[in-house]
Amino acid sequence: MKFAEYLAQTLPETTIDHLNDLREKLYVAGLIKKMEQATLTTEAAKRFALEWYRASLKETDKGYYGKVFEVTARVMWSIYHETAMALLDFKARPAGVADMRIVLNGKRYEIELKTGTGNLAQGASPQEALQKLGKLANSNKLIVWDYRKDGCPIAMEARRFFQMLEDYNGNVETWFTLNRDTNGTWGVKLQPISKRKGAYLDEVAGDGYDWETVLMTGTLE
């Protein structure tokens, strides 16, 4: 999250309470020196905060796995590369904000982390949602999709990712659903995968990158 985005946030009271509770527990555990501390630098503090976040969610809640997957990725990157991590990042980021921004092979990438039937694009109308999907498909973002929710995602640059979906049978529509959400916005989501689609994804995953290796090394190999 860039500094300008951090400053522009409108934090609901639930988020503020969430952060205050985390700060208090970190302080009591001796993992931060003062309650006003905004970032974590030690591995112990980051792992503590990650487990706290996981415990703050209900496993039965919609989106539980995706939220934990997202925050875990940021934590592991921060641990592997010994970077400070903002307490505000111990929660899922809102739609429209990149899940991660990291440097790989000397180039800055925005990372889109998806799990299961993750949302790819949103808009006020079907047309706007599809326009945003097209923008994503033509971007340099790295898409990481844990399609089985088993911790073994497929990771590819956006252009390669969408071409891979189209190469399945020439009908890319079979991968997406376009629906209106309960809040009135339109979203393009990934469809649940069939056994046949799962086998296809397993086969082509090797054409992409090993996500754990990417996190550990900061390289695309």
Same domain, 218 and 169: yes
Low-confidence ranges of the chain (pLDDT < 50): 11-13
pLDDT of res. 9: 52
User: Where does a domain end: 92, 111, 133?
Assistant: 92
| Domain annotation covers residue 61 | yes
User: Where does a domain end: 33, 60, 92?
Assistant: 92
Give pTM, 2 decimals.
Answer: 0.89
pLDDT of res. 129: 96
Same domain, 73 and 178: no
Domain that holds residue 85: 11-92
Same domain, 98 and 34: no
136: Cβ–Cβ under 8 A, 6 or more apart, which residues?
112, 120, 121, 158
Same domain, 217 and 136: yes
| Domain annotation covers residue 6 | no
pLDDT of res. 62: 83
Same domain, 36 and 114: no
Same domain, 162 and 86: no
User: Where does a domain end: 62, 92, 122?
Assistant: 92
| Domain annotation covers residue 203 | yes
pLDDT of res. 94: 87
Same domain, 54 and 153: no
Q: How far is CA 100 from CA 64, 78, 110, 120, in A?
A: 18, 11, 6, 15
Same domain, 124 and 46: no
Q: Secondary structure of the chain in the HEC alphabet?
A: CCHHHHHHCCCCHHHHHHHHHHHHHHHHCCCCCCCCCCEECCHHHHHHHHHHHHHHCCCCCCCHHHHHHHHHHHHHHHHHHCCCEEHHHCCCCCCCCCCEEEEECCEEEEEEEEECCCEEEEECCHHHHHHHHHHHHCCCCEEEEECCCCCCCEEEEHHHHHHHHHCCCCCHHHHEEEEECCCCCEEEEECCCCHHHHHHHHHHHHHCCCHHHHHHHCCCC
Same domain, 128 and 28: no
| Domain annotation covers residue 212 | yes
Same domain, 221 and 194: yes
| Domain annotation covers residue 5 | no
| Domain annotation covers residue 124 | yes
Same domain, 104 and 21: no
| Domain annotation covers residue 106 | yes
pLDDT of res. 49: 98
Total tally of structural domains belonging to the chain:
2
Amino acid at 126: P
Is residue 86 within 8 Å of 49, Cβ to Cβ? no
Same domain, 83 and 121: no
